[in-house]
Amino acid sequence: MTMSELDAPLGAPVGPPRQAGDAAFTPGLPLLTDILAALAGADTAGSVAAAGLPLLLEQPGVRACAVLVRNASDAVVLASAGYDCGTMAAGMTLPLDAGLPVTEAISTSRLVVRGTGPSWVAVPFGRRRTGALLLSLTSAPPGAAEDLARLHRLARALGDALERAGRQERAVVELADVALRLAPALPTGAGLDVAVRCLPIEGAVGGDVALCLPDPRGGHWLFVADVCGAGLLGALTARSVATAAVAVAPFVDGPEQLLAAVERAVRPDVGAGSFVTAVAAHLTGGRLRVASAGHPPPLLLTATAVVTLSLDPGEPLALEIGAGVARRTTTYDLPVDAVLLLHTDGLTDRCTDAGTRVVEALELVSAGCDGSLDAIADCVLAAAQTAGEAGDDVSLLLVRVPATGGQ
């Protein structure tokens, strides 16, 4: 990909169209001062990256601009302005070997300038953080020593601000971890043989839920959920989901009603673009009623086989385009002493040298359920680890089917 190919569909500026003969871009001291002030008021990586871009885009000669950082062998777009297609949208990646000015600047930590009008200038942050500021210009690039010095000062300030925001975000996550640890423990199933595993991908803060709750009317509720999102927001949303499930389970009639009630309770807490997948089940003796909200189906382990329970997939909870769509409950009669295994998709989404691989859950589970549930859980996790590193939080809930309904 060349910069011409990149900018051709993307370079539409904000405001009136600019022509190649427009005044050249000159990064004056007032612009630098304004952007430094904007950076001082930004406290997250996203807000830092976006802080100065509108000011840059207002300058004569600037067609588009972006902030990118290195992530392994890619450059990741943190924010951009002036591009009218998704290639340079936040979150998009460019291979570092793409041969573009910005990828070269990030790879070499050197200023890269190409073209005489239009032109592209990629200014690396410096040593503290690997990334660069990219400017797409309608005319020749700045050539005066003082102009280049100001661009370097601006890029270093961006890198420093991103480093500061990263420290703040890590501190907030650590505080949230402490708060979550101090929160009252959620109940687990009494009267059932149960094993639970919750392995967050980011330290001790995760976005999964795995619950086994005694139903005062008889039987037990099983509830597993996965919040689309990571870090602090994902963990806090997961806590809201778990709290809602515990609160409403004693008062609903079935799994699909439990999913609907949890959705109503947590929809205000789920951020834009996020959602929650979940599976809810009610187990009374060998009778299982189960419903899904876009979640992987449970597995059933018997002495001779492992099968996937067939469910209506349902719609995820709190999906922006959703509108309380009804989900369907399926009923199964299960053999005594069989093992139910509910899990999140972190179990099957594995990272390998070739990229992300989705492993069939059935490949990770062996028939036979005479051993302890803890031993079965450890074997499943070991098989998943053999298939590749986890790319998401991993949670398992294993329950042995009782002979009677029980409490």
Q: What angle do CA 290, 295, 300 make, to 5 degrees?
A: 55
More confident residue, 389 or 179: 389
CA 302, 308, 314, 317 torsion: positive or negative?
positive
CA dist 223 and 343 (Å) reads: 10
Secondary structure E strands in 138-247: 194-199, 208-214, 220-227
Nearest to 245 by CA among 275, 217, 218, 221: 221
Q: Which one of 49-53, 126-130, 260-264 scores highest in mean pLDDT?
A: 260-264
Q: Within 193-339, where are the H helices?
A: 231-248, 255-266
DSSP 19: -
Q: For the ranges 53-57, 180-184, 210-214, which has the lowest average pLDDT?
A: 180-184
Residue 52 CB neighbours (<10 A): 27
CA dist 190 and 220 (Å) reads: 9
Please name the amino acid found at residue 56: L
pLDDT of residue 124: 94
Whose tokens are 């899904």? That residue is 292
Q: What angle do CA 142, 143, 149 make, to 5 degrees?
A: 80
Give me the mean pLDDT over the 382-389 stretch: 88
pLDDT band at 62 (very low <50, low <70, confident <90, very high): very high
Identify whether the C-beta of residue 145 lies closer than 8 Å to the C-beta of residue 111: no
Please determine, for residue 19, whether its predicted confidence score (pLDDT) is greater than 70: no
pLDDT band at 163 (very low <50, low <70, confident <90, very high): confident
Please determine, for residue 187, whether its predicted confidence score (pLDDT) is greater than 70: no
Nearest to 63 by CA among 85, 89, 81: 81
Mean pLDDT score across all residues of the chain: 83
Please determine, for residue 328, whether its predicted confidence score (pLDDT) is greater than 90: yes
Give me the mean pLDDT over the 299-326 stretch: 84
**Burial bucket for residue 33 (CB in 10 Å: 0-12, 13-18, 19+):** exposed
pLDDT of residue 175: 63
DSSP 235: H
Question: What domains are defined for the chain?
Answer: 3-174 (3.30.450.40), 183-400 (3.60.40.10)
Instruction: Give residue-wise pLDDT tens across range 105-122.
Output: 999 999 999 998 899 999
Q: Which one of 71-80, 183-192, 266-275, 319-328 scores highest in mean pLDDT?
A: 71-80
pLDDT of residue 135: 94
Coil, helix or strand at residue 118: coil
Identify whether the C-beta of residue 401 lies closer than 8 Å to the C-beta of residue 336: yes
CA dist 295 and 346 (Å) reads: 11
Structure tokens at 262: 């949890």
CA dist 85 and 106 (Å) reads: 22
Identify whether the C-beta of residue 342 lies closer than 8 Å to the C-beta of residue 328: no
Q: Which residues contact 367 (CB under 8 A, 6 or more apart)?
A: 301, 302, 303, 304, 305, 306
Instruction: Give residue-wise pLDDT tens across range 63-104.
Output: 999 999 988 888 999 889 998 777 788 888 899 988 999 999
Query: Can you give the pTM of this predicted structure?
Result: 0.58
Residue 211 β-bridge partners: 223
CA 196, 199, 203, 209 torsion: positive or negative?
negative
Give how far the C-alpha of residue 153 lies from the chain's centroid of Cα atoms, to the nearest Å: 32
